[in-house]
């Protein structure tokens, strides 16, 4: 009796173990798929960009090389697109971060309970709007009503020595400019940064708030001197995620940036971003070199976003472990 029940248990255990092995293998497979996909994409970009890499070398991405983007001559240089991505994402970030932090602080600390849920919902809604809708809204509403007036107001800065090159006008009447792309990006990355920062602030232990309050800190002081320092790595992570989203955003930017390889450094002129030049030209790229050059831009974009995400993740994880 005793032995039969033991052997039954053993059988059961073995059965379960087989199940475990199967389950484990399935999960491993799904994890491997992700890794393989990433490596495959990277490999493809690397291989397909070979002609361009061999023909142009590092000159392809340097800012100080005279820029040409001429499919007819098969001459390509990517700096204007790289610059377009960096400048639009940076402007977007500079404007979005304070606003997003304000939203996060309000949602996490100040908003009365009845307002919190609908506001949270709205913020998440903002993140869920498809980017093509942002693009359309940008073209028909945002560019003429907001971007053009702001651009006009900035035009006088074009004659200021030093920073003048960034504000060379005139602003096109359509509003298709790097500034337009940057401002649309502000709205698009706002919910990402706000939602993550809000979660970070809410994750600060109650004991930290109480410690500050018990020392006679006002709510303002508690937020700025305790909560934000406590959550700084998480907030930094949120900011980098926002930057990653801004630099990778394709559809809306392509629709509002004007798609031109010229424009110098002025934010009041149309330009390209890495993502938008690929989206805009890939279908019409007939020569191998043109395709390859776009692939190389894709490679650069891939590398930048990968590094940014890795950095953000490292910051968040690193600090979370330290806290625990």
Partner 1 sequence: MQPQLNITEPTRAAATATDLKMETRGLSVYYKNFRAIKEINLPVYENRVLAIIGPSGCGKSTLLRALNRMNDLVPGARVEGEVLLDGENIYAPGQDVVDIRRRVGMVFQRPNPFPMSVYDNVAFGPRLLGIRKKSVLDEIVERSLRAAALWEHVQDKLGQSGMALSGGQQQRLCIARAIAMEPEVILMDEPTSALDPMATLTIEDLIQRLKENFTIVIVTHNMQQAARISDFTAFLSMDEDRAGYLVEFGPTVEVFTNPKEKLTEDYITGRFG
CB of 229 to partner 1, least distance (A): 7
CB of 243 to partner 1, least distance (A): 25
Report the C-alpha gap between 259 and 81 in whole angstroms. Answer: 10
Q: Is residue 324 involved in binding partner 1 (CB under 8 A)?
A: no
Q: Is residue 116 involved in binding partner 1 (CB under 8 A)?
A: no
Report the C-alpha gap between 77 and 39 in whole angstroms. Answer: 26
- DSSP letters for 66-93: PP-EETTTTEE--HHHHHHHHHHHHHHH
| For partner 1, the closer CB: 72 or 324 | 324
* Residue of 6, 17, 70, 218 interacting with partner 1 (CB under 8 A): 218
Range in contact with partner 1 (rule: CB under 8 A) among 58-66, 211-219, 263-271, 284-292: 211-219
Q: Is residue 113 involved in binding partner 1 (CB under 8 A)?
A: yes
| For partner 1, the closer CB: 152 or 323 | 323
Binding mask 219-248 for partner 1 (x = CB under 8 A): --x---xx--xx------------------
Read off the DSSP letter of residue 271: B
Q: Pairing relation of β-strands 75-76 and 69-70?
A: antiparallel
CB of 117 to partner 1, least distance (A): 14
Sequence-ordered alpha helix ranges (H) in 147-223:
148-154, 178-202, 206-214, 219-222
Range in contact with partner 1 (rule: CB under 8 A) among 60-68, 118-126, 205-213, 274-282: 205-213
Q: Report the first-to-last Cα separation within the chain, whole angstroms.
A: 50
Strand boundaries in the chain, DSSP class E: 69-70, 75-76
Name the site residues for partner 1 (rule: CB under 8 A): 113, 205, 207-218, 221, 225-226, 229-230, 323
């Amino acid at each position: 009796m005793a032995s039969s029940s033991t052997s039954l248990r053993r059988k059961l255990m073995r059965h379960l173990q087989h199940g475990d092995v199967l389950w484990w293998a399935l999960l491993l497979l799904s994890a491997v798929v992700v890794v393989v996909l990433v490596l495959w994409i990277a490999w493809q970009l690397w291989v397909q960009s070979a002609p361009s890499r061999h023909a142009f070398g590092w000159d392809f991405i340097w800012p100080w090389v005279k820029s040409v983007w001429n499919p007819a001559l098969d001459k390509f240089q990517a700096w204007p697109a790289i610059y377009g991505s960096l400048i639009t994402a940076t402007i977007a970030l500079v404007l979005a971060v304070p606003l997003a932090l304000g939203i996060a602080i309000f949602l996490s600390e100040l908003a009365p309970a009845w307002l919190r849920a609908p506001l949270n919902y709205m913020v998440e809604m903002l993140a869920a709007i498809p980017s093509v809708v942002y693009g359309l809204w940008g073209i028909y509403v945002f560019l003429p009503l907001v971007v053009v007036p702001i651009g006009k107001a900035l035009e006088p800065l074009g004659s200021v020595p030093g920073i003048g090159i960034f504000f060379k006008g005139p602003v096109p009447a359509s509003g298709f400019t790097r500034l337009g792309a940057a401002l649309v990006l502000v709205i698009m990355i706002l919910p990402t940064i706000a939602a993550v920062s809000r979660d970070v602030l809410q994750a600060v232990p109650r004991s930290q708030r109480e410690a500050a309050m018990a020392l006679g800190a006002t709510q303002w002081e508690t937020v700025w001197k305790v909560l934000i320092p406590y959550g700084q790595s998480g907030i930094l992570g949120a900011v980098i995620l926002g930057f990653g989203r801004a630099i990778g955003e394709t559809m809306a930017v392509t629709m509002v940036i004007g798609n031109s390889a010229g424009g110098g450094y002025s934010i009041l002129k149309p330009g390209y971003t890495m993502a938008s030049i690929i989206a805009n030209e890939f279908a019409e790229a007939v020569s191998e070199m043109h395709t390859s050059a776009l692939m190389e831009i894709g490679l650069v974009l891939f590398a930048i976003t990968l590094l940014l995400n890795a950095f953000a993740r490292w910051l968040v994880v690193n600090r979370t472990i330290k806290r625990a």
